[in-house]
Amino acid sequence: MSSIAFDIPDEIRALCDGLEDFLKAEVVARHEKHHALLSNGRNTYDENGRYTEEVIGLIREVRMAAAKAGYYNMCVPEDLGGSGLGMLAYYVAWEHAFRICGPHNWMAVYAISHWAFGPSRLLERVTEEARGEILDGMLEGRTSMCFGLSEPGAGSDAAALTTKAVPDGNGWRISGRKIWTTNSPIADYCIIFAQTDPKRAAARKGGISAFLVPTDAPGFEVESIIAMHGAVGGNEAQLVFEDIRVEPSQLVGELHEGFKNAVFGVSMGRIYNSARALGLARWSLELALDYAGTRQAFGKTISEYQGVTFPLAESAMELHGAHLMGLNAAMLLDKGELAIKELSMAKAYAVEVGARAIDRAIQTHGAMGFTNELGLAEAYNTVRVVNVADGTNEILRRTIAHRLLGGDVEL
Ligand SMILES: Cc1cc2nc3c(=O)[nH]c(=O)nc-3n(C[C@H](O)[C@H](O)[C@H](O)COP(=O)(O)OP(=O)(O)OC[C@H]3O[C@@H](n4cnc5c(N)ncnc54)[C@H](O)[C@@H]3O)c2cc1C
């Protein structure tokens, strides 16, 4: 039974069935086997808040198993060595993965190459020399990377970044700092955005370039791990760069035009996060429906009270809308359109209704809703923070408004 009239190709549906089997065998099974390590932050992170070596090893195992099984690189372009399935497959597969795995089996995030941590269209912009050096390891899932754009003084207004790449012979030396860089504590490479022409950067006319830098390069330091709400460690960090030497072969895209890479990457991030919010919210709604059908109060199951079921119906309406918007935005991208307005609407809407649906699922469960055992509060945290990551919902509204005022009024 399907409530979606969109034509999802059989190839993508079959892939999701296979992915589900893979996730159960390689992700859920690992979480069950290493429950104490992966479900208790006191064991998952070391004293500095970084994943322990054992956890990093398990993450690598998942990436490599997914690469071998054909899921990790399914949406990586064919010219890079992937299966080239595109954004609809990316959306559908991620949504399915989060719905199946929920928040507990969090290593699911390494089963498909995330655009900022693994191979993606972004790597089409690295030089031939860099491809030769990094591509095999990245496609095998042996190595990973991170995306260093945001700085303490440059978040939504990312072009205000002050990290500098100063000419040094035929290359540059990078100095500055980054913040919130996800996966940087365990990554092998970082794409660093830096000013290469401060005058053009100040005038907002280019002047920013992107460089692919090994995280063990002299001058590259993970200064501190950032623990987000409810966690004792994390995979976001503050980075400090001191005179990192980079060669022309490390440029990503064109000199002074690196900011285009950021816009390009973030659009993949918005598809991913729309899918993540929907998948986790559907997981929570299904949990709430099960609970409402069994929990007794005042001599009846609570599903007999409209005060319990109407909020769940509200969630279903909103999540269905988010689903249609996500599928539509992904299909537009696959047609070669930028879908700026549609992608912004899909991501902003999915994280708002997703967080609301998880909140309602918490309420349906009463006190049980807040236990670590159920993971609903963890799912809420995950989706709530996406309201900020990859463009805040205010910035997305600003983008939507710009498009509307510019004449893009098709809805
Ligand atoms: C979990 C997580 C992971 C992240 N991972 C990465 C990563 O891997 N790499 C990376 O480079 N960055 C990453 N980020 C950073 C993220 O991109 C920024 O947090 C985001 O762009 C917002 O910037 P800010 O936090 O500095 O908020 P600010 O830009 O300081 O915004 C503060 C508030 O002001 C509002 N605001 C700002 N300007 C306007 C405006 N013009 N109109 C209306 N409201 C406005 C914002 O919406 C927000 O509510 C991550 C963030 C999070 C939370």
Q: Whose CA is nearest to atom 48 of ligand 1?
A: 392
Q: Whose CA is nearest to atom 30 of ligand 1?
A: 155
Q: Is the CB of 395 under 6 A from ligand 1?
A: yes
pLDDT at 7: 85
pLDDT in tens, the chain (411 residues): 788 898 899 999 999 999 999 999 999 999 999 999 999 999 999 999 999 999 999 999 999 999 999 999 999 999 999 999 999 999 999 999 999 999 999 999 999 999 999 999 899 999 999 999 999 999 999 999 999 999 999 999 999 999 999 999 999 999 999 999 999 999 999 999 999 999 999 999 999 999 999 999 999 999 999 999 989 999 999 999 999 999 999 999 999 999 888 877 788 899 999 999 999 999 999 999 999 999 999 999 999 999 999 999 999 999 999 999 999 999 999 999 999 999 999 999 999 999 999 999 999 999 999 999 999 999 999 999 999 998 999 999 999 999 999 999 999
pLDDT at 262: 80
Q: Which two tokens stand for residue 408?
A: 């893009």
Spell out a b/e string for 131-162, using b for 16 or more CB atoms within 10 Å of the CB, else e: bebbbeebbbbebbbbbbbbbeebbeebbebe
Pocket test of ligand 1: the residue of 184, 222, 268, 392 to mutate, having most ligand atoms within 8 Å of its CB, is 392
Q: Which two tokens stand for residue 168?
A: 């040094």
pLDDT at 266: 82
HSE-up of residue 357 (Cα within 13 Å, Cβ side): 33
Q: Is the CB of 394 under 6 A from ligand 1?
A: yes
Q: Which residue is listed with tokens 């034509």?
A: 7
Q: Is the CB of 389 under 6 A from ligand 1?
A: yes
Centroid of ligand 1 to alpha carbon of 386 (angstroms)? 10
Domains recognised in the chain with CATH numbers: 10-126 (1.10.540), 145-252 (2.40.110.10), 260-405 (1.20.140.10)
Centroid of ligand 1 to alpha carbon of 267 (angstroms)? 15
Alpha helices (runs of H) in 335-392, residue ranges in sequence order: 340-364, 376-385
Q: Is the CB of 398 under 6 A from ligand 1?
A: yes
Looking at the CA of residue 116, tell me the nearest atom of ligand 1: 8
Q: Is the CB of 238 under 6 A from ligand 1?
A: no
Q: Whose CA is nearest to atom 31 of ligand 1?
A: 156
Q: Is the CB of 261 under 6 A from ligand 1?
A: no
pTM of full prediction above 0.75: yes
Pocket test of ligand 1: the residue of 122, 147, 156 to mutate, having most ligand atoms within 8 Å of its CB, is 156
Looking at the CA of residue 156, tell me the nearest atom of ligand 1: 29
pLDDT at 314: 98
